[in-house]
Amino acid sequence: MYDLIVIGAGPAGLSAALTAYEKGLKKILVVERDKEMGGILNQCIHNGFGLHLFKEELTGPEFAGKFIEKIKETNIEIMLDTMVLKLDENKNIYILNTKGYQKLSAKAIILAMGCRERTRGAIATPGDRGAGVYTAGAAQRYMNMDGYSVGNKVVILGSGDIGLIMARRMTLEGAKVLACVEINPYSAGLRRNIKQCLEDFNIPLYLSHTITDIKCTNNRVSKVIVSKVDEAYNTIKDSEIEIECDTVLLSIGLIPENELSKEANITIDQRTKGPVVYENMETSVEGIFCCGNVVQVHDLADNVALEAKKAALAACKYVLNERTFEREIKVEVNKPISYTVPQKIHLPIDEKLIDISFRTNKILGKCVIKVVNSSGEVICKYPREYVIPAELEKINIPVSLIKDEKNNITIFIEED
Amino acid sequence: MIELICIGCPKGCKLLVDENNDHSVTGHSCQIGVEYGRNEVLNPTRVLTTIVKIENGIHNCLPVKSSKPLPKNKLIEASRFLKDIVVKSPVKTNQVIVKNILDTGIDIIATRDM
């Protein structure tokens, strides 16, 4: 019987395992399906990682390396090339690797499976079905780890960070990136990436546009049709632009990977596609915690690692029987906030502050984020210069302000 | 006034650089913004991150970066130069892969063990 099993050895899993080890858990296992630790960081060869956590700018592999080095100094058990087939509510996992099939049990589980990319099917892009259409992350792996050339004349659909990073990558590798096409009137990526990945190389960004047809010649992409869309995302007639290209990269969002969670009857939030969590990153199943992109899509690996620490501390408290709470309250939202993480809060708790993160579904200028208790009183306010969908917004609520709350708190935004 | 987005960290501050006043910077939240703003107007640089081929590694490619930011107009040339470089495993993080690339005085170093 393990004290803790962590599923996934990316930034979330490694950070969680290390924290649990530092806090004194003895028997810790990390299960990873890839042949090495590091997860997606291994293919994110660009820099920009670690500024919050390590106070220096690191590339993905360097960031992962910091955790991997530390892990190697511990007796944390790492099982590579191992697939978790099933997780159940009693904290058993069923795994498969070259040694065969095994059932393993733990006092606590941390889910750190990350997310996967949305594909062409998810947005039903019409057209031919030839070669040359990749998700941006798959192309990134082919290029950065396997060393394949992905294409020469590229159109990127979606302006998520991975797509932007790939625009720069492919340009540096000698490909011509002809356009980045975004259906929303705003970019889904960080502003610095628009600057250093598109503008640095004069790659045009078409906002409020989408690909409405993909044409192939000899089973390879040869042309895309790009059309303008209106506010309701309907294509505008006669706005078509033809772009000759051989490659389409899709950077159209990520989906938390929760097949295992669902099988363990963990409640999933349809808004985040991740488990409903408490302030301590615990799921609806006691003793099963989660962190990182399996919960919600984060902007930064640094924040993933920090969230993982929180989950690990809570898992330690659970294993060591140090829990204090007796009841729970809900965190509700008003438009244009799409969701919050956590969705629920245990009370009473020892912590002084509760971090709440959320995204909005529209761009707001100068505004105030307000938290209201169930009696309708505003209990705290957070002024902001702007709030944009591309950036995960964070507030922290002093626990003293909600300690007597019995039902729920609501978060909303008022524009100035 | 030149408007810029700072790329020093994910915050992405909107900077204003006054080219008529000793390139003074406003709109920054930290010192990184001041330096970036000046540099970006006078001598823009970027850290180059790319790959070289590796033999007998766990993967076919080894990720590398420039030890310091390179002049922006050298990025593509440096990247092209690195296309023909092949190293042999084992390589350690920070190991120099190419010394003084394109006579810039800057090295290309490995960013992981492999």
Co-location of B64 and B102 in the same domain:
yes
Co-location of B57 and B35 in the same domain:
no
Q: What integer best gives the mean pLDDT of chain B?
A: 93
Co-location of A333 and A316 in the same domain:
no
Co-location of B16 and B63 in the same domain:
no
pLDDT at residue A210 in the model: 96
pLDDT at residue A76 in the model: 98
Co-location of A178 and A246 in the same domain:
yes
Co-location of A173 and A227 in the same domain:
yes
Co-location of B65 and B25 in the same domain:
no
Co-location of A279 and A374 in the same domain:
no
pLDDT at residue A368 in the model: 96
Q: How far apart are CA A15 and CA A5, in angstroms?
A: 13
What CATH number is attached to the domain comprising B74?
3.10.530.10
**Contact between A216 and A129 (Cβ < 8 Å):** yes
In angstroms, the first-to-last Cα distance of chain A is: 55
Co-location of A155 and A49 in the same domain:
no
The answer to whether B111 contacts A174, with C-beta atoms less than 8 Å apart, is no
pLDDT tens-digit map of A385-398: 889 888 899 999 99
Mutate to test the interface with A, among B35, B59, B62, B74 (most CBs of A within 10 A): B59
Domain termination residue (choose one: A306, A323, A340): A323
Domain termination residue (choose one: A207, A233, A252): A252
Chain A contact present for B47, CB below 8 A: yes
Q: How far apart are CA B97 and CA A106, in angstroms?
A: 44
Co-location of A194 and A150 in the same domain:
yes
What's the token pair of residue A162?
């991975």
Band of residue A240 on the pLDDT scale cut at 50, 70, 90? very high
Co-location of B30 and B70 in the same domain:
no
Co-location of B76 and B94 in the same domain:
yes
Q: Which of A65, A146, A172 sits opposite B59 (nearest CB)?
A: A146
What CATH number is attached to the domain comprising A410?
2.60.40
Nearest chain B residue to A169 by CA: give it. Answer: B50
Mutate to test the interface with A, among B7, B58, B82 (most CBs of A within 10 A): B7
H or E, element range at A123: helix A120-123
> What percent of the residues of chain B are helix, what percent strand, and what percent coil, each to the nearest 5?
25, 35, 45
Q: Please tell me the distance in Å from B21's CA to the nearest CA on chain A.
A: 24
Identity of residue A71 = I
Number of separate domains in chain A: 3
pLDDT tens-digit map of A162-180: 999 999 999 999 999 999 9
Chain A contact present for B2, CB below 8 A: no
Chain A contact present for B79, CB below 8 A: yes
> Among A119, A117, A122, A148, which Cα is nearest to A133's?
A119
| Parent domain of B17 | 2-43
Co-location of B36 and B68 in the same domain:
no
Co-location of B56 and B102 in the same domain:
yes
Burial group, residue A116, by CB count within 10 angstroms (0-12, 13-18, 19+): middle
**Contact between A156 and A162 (Cβ < 8 Å):** no
**Contact between B67 and B106 (Cβ < 8 Å):** yes
Q: Half-sphere exposure (CA, 13 Å, Cβ side) for A90?
A: 6
Co-location of B37 and B59 in the same domain:
no
Four-CA torsion A205, B4, A382, A49, nearest 10 degrees: 80
pLDDT tens-digit map of B6-40: 888 878 888 999 988 888 999 998 998 998 899 88
Co-location of B78 and B102 in the same domain:
yes
- Spatial CB neighbours of A245, under 8 Å, sequence gap ≥ 6: A151, A153, A154, A155, A178, A221, A222, A223, A224
Q: How far apart are CA A84 and CA A102, in angstroms?
A: 10
Strands A367-372, A378-384: pairing is antiparallel
Co-location of B21 and B69 in the same domain:
no
Four-CA torsion A351, A352, A355, A356, nearest 10 degrees: 100
Chain A contact present for B102, CB below 8 A: no
- Residues in chain A within 8 Å Cβ distance of B35: none
How much is the average pLDDT of A98-106? 97
> Among A242, A274, A244, which Cα is nearest to A260's?
A274
Co-location of A107 and A144 in the same domain:
no
- Residues in chain A within 8 Å Cβ distance of B4: 195
Chain A contact present for B112, CB below 8 A: yes
Co-location of A196 and A307 in the same domain:
no
How much is the average pLDDT of A226-240? 95
Phi, psi of B38 (to 5 degrees): -65, -50
Q: Which of A146, A174, A195 sits opposite B5 (nearest CB)?
A: A195
Q: How far apart are CA A292 and CA A10, in angstroms?
A: 9
pLDDT at residue B9 in the model: 81
Chain A contact present for B87, CB below 8 A: no
| Parent domain of A274 | 1-117+254-323
> Among A206, A153, A215, which Cα is nearest to A178's?
A153
Q: How many distinct helices (H) and strands (E) make up chain A?
A: 8, 27
Nearest chain B residue to A34 by CA: give it. Answer: B58
The answer to whether A61 contacts B80, with C-beta atoms less than 8 Å apart, is no
> Among A58, A67, A8, which Cα is nearest to A33's?
A8
Q: Which of B5, B63, B93 sits opposite A192 (nearest CB)?
A: B5
What CATH number is attached to the domain comprising A283?
3.50.50.60
Residue of higher predicted confidence among B21 and B89: B89
* Three-class secondary structure of residue A247 per DSSP: strand
Co-location of A317 and A332 in the same domain:
no
Co-location of B67 and B106 in the same domain:
yes
**Contact between A113 and A258 (Cβ < 8 Å):** yes
**Contact between A165 and A192 (Cβ < 8 Å):** no
pLDDT tens-digit map of A297-310: 998 999 999 999 99
Co-location of A3 and A107 in the same domain:
yes
How much is the average pLDDT of A359-375? 93
Domain termination residue (choose one: A252, A279, A294): A252
